Amino acid sequence: MYCSIAFPLEVYQTYTYSVPESLSDKLKAGMRVKASFGSRAQIGYCIETMLVLSSKPSYKLKEISDVVDSTPIFSEDLIKLIKWISDYYLAPIGICFRAAHPSESGFKRQQFCFIQEGESPENWPDIPAGGLSMINFVSLPDLKQKKIKEGLSSGKLFIDNIFPKVKEARRVAAVKILNTKLPITSRQQDVIDLLLSLDTPQEEIRVIQKKLKCSSSVINKLIENGVLTKFEMEVPADPFDHLVAERKRDVKLSVEQSDVIDNIEKHFGTFYPVLLHGITGSGKTEVYIELAKKQLETGKQVLILVPEIAITPQIAARFRSTFGEQVAIWHSQMSDSERLWTWTQIQKNAIRVVVGARSALFAPMKDIGLIVVDEEQEASYKQDDQVPRYHARDAAVMYAHILNIPIILGSATPSLESYYLSALKRYKRLELNQRFGDAQLPHVHLVDMTEAPRQGLFSQELLAALDKTLKDGKQAIILQNRRGYNTVMVCSECKQILQCPSCSVALTYHKRLDKLMCHVCNATYPLTITCPHCGKQTLTAVGHGTQKIEEELKKIFPDVRVARMDMDTTRTKHAHARILNEFEQQQHQILLGTQMIAKGLDFPNVTLVSIMNADTGIGIPDHRASERLFQLIYQVSGRSGRGKYPGDVYIQTFSPEEPLIQMAAKLELRAFYNLELFQRKTLQYPPFSRLFLIRVSGKNAREVEAAIGRMYKALVTKISPSCCLGPAPAPIERIKDKTRWQILIKADRKNDPNGNRTAGILIHVLKNFRQQEKGVKVLINRDPISLM
């Protein structure tokens, strides 16, 4: 037997190996195998097994040495999907498979040094039978290191890769109560009280310390005195422990919702892509849940994709309250053990509904009947920062096509791409135009900040409304799409903005740190007033971020509880869920945050939403900037008045004449989409063309510029120069001291409608480039979501 293997390396091809008879019963496509590649052992993915080869190879085939898995980790359908991702996004196939497997740790290979066969172990006392880990090698005395190095170069020793296994459950240090009758201090009593408040009076030591803000000595003393006993607790790592509590709700479907459900149900078992365009608060989630119920009744599984973590807890909790333990959650902040636990549960079919972020696409479900992509317009579905640079929504449509099942793309503000495809009737468009229950659309007020009476950053009009909302016992959401305290430091003499020394972006002042911070490389710098351009001490802080708004709010409403949600307050695990949970339980009256508070959230007691500065984002050099800004304003407005109380929205702006802001304020979605589609068509941007972004980066700016120049020359021999924009510096020209230049290719719709011809040319040019150009890095991003 033979098999075709994809190794997780920078190569675009697969390799054929022969399978020894002893392993041929065990091996199936979708399993990992061990085989030597070059001079090293490598783990690769078997993507196909063959009894005979169509053509005899001219060289002797190597044999695989072992099969890693007892059951396939990828179904045949997933293999098809991952191959498509590799082809379409021009990504090395083995790396795509690795990215699709939950446990990267399976590939945290460690190098070990071994004794060559035939060589006597007695000559090598420092090398144990299981090999010497190269981590331990470094701590050996110099003489011994030297001897081993000689052994390696003479071939008496060799280095091989070892792949450690990941544990499914985590063991943590915990305590339980042994004897409560002993005398203890009040601080110690807090620990006992905490333990007694739990269903099972035991808890992880780390968690106790965190909850009580106590030192380990308090707990150690209790163990010493025989009050507590320490033991190793197994944490099965069910990520649901930290979810937002779900309130009970009466679900009575509207006629509109029932019609949508009927329509989709009729297409169960066939490829049927649906754009579900429902205004904010129209009850899309209820539609998903009803359809999932119907699928589960027939024994099928359901995959629900949601944008990255911020909104996962709320929607997952809704599913959990309906389907109980059959639901799993999947996102990037899970630990390795949580991920592997969930993966195993899905494989065992104990989990039938997966709710997760983009990588949930690769969950090992065997019998999916329905896929939902909620908030399909979200940029976080595109993996822009690493290979494969795939778009989970587009890949999900391909997956549904492979599986021959319906897929629902849900949104209140569809992406222009999906909106356009539904206009072309490639996607079926279904609409929900009424708010769920009795809720009415909010009343939107546009506040012209150039004329409005103000108090600090707030217009009097907004403050009056806020005051009334709080007095009525209702809650408010305030959006400020900049984190930090001040946004930039500007020199009053030479008008230069203070930038990060390593990146070409402005530094932001963070008051709590009392430092300047770069939001691109995360470096911090001491606050300074000396301008690096003119040397005068004339730098002043201008602009305002979430921290400053929070400070002003607290001055105006000293007794009001404000929760701030931005990248700075949500760095820790489960912080999102905790803040949302507290807001839901009305522990805070105002939720202040960046765009992460804009979508998906559903709080019936919120009757006021305010956008502090709607102009943030106008003029960004990116063809998607206005689409994003419109969606943000529209989405956040939709957070208001979702319960039985009417809602208000205040949009503060310095450019009230801007058509985009006018249309967003009137909630005129169609008008905006038609205008934007017209502009995209004029400029030949998606959905009217296919884009490929090529970026070259490196430490030496001149080398980068020269290398991309040579790349451009190679490209324009095959692609019309009118389709190659650039080469030009990236909008953020420097990050972490690396210069970045780019070329943007627009695949012409007439000559190359789906972009595949251009993709073929690029793969070829890229291979040559990688071989010839050293010292610079090149990446390729098909259908890029951001050009920054």
* Contacting positions for Zn ion (CB under 5 A): 491, 493-494, 500, 502-503, 518, 520-521, 531, 533-534
Residue with Cβ nearer Zn ion (53 or 494):
494
Residue with Cβ nearer Zn ion (189 or 524):
524
Kind of pairing between the strands at 64-67 and 15-18: unpaired
C-beta of 528: minimal distance to Zn ion in Å? 12
- Residues paired with residue 516 on neighbouring β-strands, in sequence order: 509, 525
Give the tokens for residue 544.
């305002």
C-beta of 502: minimal distance to Zn ion in Å? 5
Nearest Cα neighbor of 764 from 717, 704, 728 is: 717
Residue with Cβ nearer Zn ion (529 or 728):
529
Residue with Cβ nearer Zn ion (498 or 667):
498
Residue with Cβ nearer Zn ion (176 or 519):
519
Describe the chain by its helix, strand, coil percentages, rounded to 5. 35, 25, 40
C-beta of 518: minimal distance to Zn ion in Å? 3
C-beta of 501: minimal distance to Zn ion in Å? 7
Print burial letters for 166-175: b (CB count within 10 Å at least 16), e (below 16).
eebebeeebb
Residue with Cβ nearer Zn ion (65 or 492):
492
C-beta of 519: minimal distance to Zn ion in Å? 8
3-state SS, residue 203: strand
Contact 46, 93 (CB under 8 A): no
C-beta of 383: minimal distance to Zn ion in Å? 22
Q: How many other CB atoms sit within 10 Å of the CB of residue 536?
A: 13
Q: How far apart are CA 35 and CA 389, in angstroms?
A: 28
Contact 322, 289 (CB under 8 A): yes
Residue with Cβ nearer Zn ion (281 or 543):
543
Residue with Cβ nearer Zn ion (500 or 632):
500
User: By CB neighbour count within 10 A (0-12 exposed, 13-18 middle, 19+ buried), where does 571 fall?
Assistant: exposed
Contact 594, 479 (CB under 8 A): yes
Alpha helix (H) residue ranges in 133-267:
134-137, 142-153, 186-196, 205-212, 216-224, 255-265
C-beta of 299: minimal distance to Zn ion in Å? 52
Q: How far apart are CA 729 and CA 697, in angstroms?
A: 10
C-beta of 601: minimal distance to Zn ion in Å? 31
Give the tokens for residue 298.
């027939």
3-state SS, residue 733: strand
C-beta of 491: minimal distance to Zn ion in Å? 3
Residue with Cβ nearer Zn ion (520 or 560):
520
C-beta of 228: minimal distance to Zn ion in Å? 47
C-beta of 507: minimal distance to Zn ion in Å? 8
C-beta of 565: minimal distance to Zn ion in Å? 24
What is the chain's alpha carbon radius of gyration, rounded to the nearest angstrom? 29
C-beta of 533: minimal distance to Zn ion in Å? 5
Q: How far apart are CA 572 and CA 371, in angstroms?
A: 30
What does each C-alpha distance from 637 to 96, 478, 610, 754 come to in angstroms?
38, 10, 8, 36
Residue with Cβ nearer Zn ion (521 or 714):
521
C-beta of 380: minimal distance to Zn ion in Å? 22
Contact 147, 153 (CB under 8 A): no
Kind of pairing between the strands at 539-542 and 562-565: unpaired
What does each C-alpha distance from 223 to 175, 216, 234 come to in angstroms?
8, 11, 20
- Residues paired with residue 409 on neighbouring β-strands, in sequence order: 275, 373
Residue with Cβ nearer Zn ion (80 or 736):
736
Residue with Cβ nearer Zn ion (536 or 666):
536
Strand order through the sheet with 368-374: 327-330, 353-356, 301-305, 368-374, 406-411, 272-278, 428-432
Residue with Cβ nearer Zn ion (522 or 768):
522
Q: How far apart are CA 237 and CA 335, in angstroms?
A: 8
Residue with Cβ nearer Zn ion (531 or 664):
531
What does each C-alpha distance from 708 to 590, 611, 753, 771, 778 come to in angstroms?
49, 41, 26, 14, 9
Residue with Cβ nearer Zn ion (510 or 576):
510
C-beta of 520: minimal distance to Zn ion in Å? 5
Q: How far apart are CA 164 and CA 31, in angstroms?
A: 17
Residue with Cβ nearer Zn ion (494 or 671):
494
C-beta of 527: minimal distance to Zn ion in Å? 16
Whether the bond into 20 is cis, omega within 30 of 0: no
Nearest Cα neighbor of 743 from 680, 701, 690, 696 is: 696
C-beta of 737: minimal distance to Zn ion in Å? 9
Give the tokens for residue 575.
């912080």
Give the tokens for residue 421.
């495809």
Residue with Cβ nearer Zn ion (184 or 513):
513
Contact 560, 590 (CB under 8 A): yes
Residues 6+ apart with CB under 8 A from 538: 491, 492, 493, 529, 531
Residue 9 DSSP symbol: S
C-beta of 500: minimal distance to Zn ion in Å? 3
Cα-to-chain-centroid distance, residue 422: 26
Kind of pairing between the strands at 454-455 and 458-459: antiparallel
- Residues paired with residue 105 on neighbouring β-strands, in sequence order: none
Residue with Cβ nearer Zn ion (416 or 503):
503
Cα-to-chain-centroid distance, residue 382: 8
